[in-house]
Amino acid sequence: MLKTTALTAGLAILALSAHADTHGHDHGDMARTPAPEGAMVYFIGLEGGATVSNPVTLHFGARGIGIAPAGVEWPDTGHHHLLINVDPATVDMEFGLPADDQHIHFGGGQTEVTLELPEGTHSMFLLMGDHNHVPHDPPIMSTPITITVE
């Protein structure tokens, strides 16, 4: 079981209740938000193949896009989502992202998190969401990385 800081866990629950049904899909009448040209997200100071110990602190970077809290509709902005042990090809980019232990929302505009991950190998990537947690068009996603937790 994944443990996150209390703030992150509370925001994930808040994001799910405010923006999505029980399956995590946002059914609002909205078109996907266009991605700013050249926008990108990435992990700061963490490379794929790294071996880390708990607690794991992750820092998120963004270039070409501003960070704004969920619910705030400002031009060329979004907020981070951390997807853990999720195949990027399975993410439905047309709807709001679910909020659970594998899809962690940072709707307050946070750019870091400290997690307790189970020992073993974990894949992860960052995905920006707009004010409604819907990925931009095209998606602004980091390169997936794999880390080992000892």
For residue 139, what are its two tokens?
């998606």
Closest by CA position to 9, among listed 143, 90, 110? 110
Phi/psi of residue 147, nearest 5 degrees: -125, 160
Strand 40-44 and strand 66-67: the pairing is unpaired
Return the pLDDT at 29: 53
For residue 148, what are its two tokens?
């080992």
3-state secondary structure of 75: coil
Cβ atoms < 10 Å from Cβ of 21:
12
**CA distances for 132 relative to 27, 55, 100, 105, 144, angstroms:** 10, 30, 16, 11, 23
Tell me the pLDDT of the chain (150 aa) as tens digits: 454 443 333 333 333 333 343 334 444 556 899 999 999 999 999 999 999 999 999 999 999 999 999 999 999 999 999 999 999 999 999 999 999 999 999 999 999 999 999 999 999 999 999 999 999 999 999 999 999 999
d(Cα 7, Cα 10) in Å, to the nearest integer? Answer: 5
For residue 24, what are its two tokens?
């995590």
d(Cα 43, Cα 56) in Å, to the nearest integer? Answer: 13
Phi/psi of residue 7, nearest 5 degrees: -60, -45
Domains plus CATH for the chain? 3-24+38-149 (2.60.40)
pLDDT tens digits, 35-58: 999 999 999 999 999 999 999 999
Buried-state track 109-130, b at ≥16 Cβ within 10 A, e below 16: bbeebebebeeeebebbbbbbb
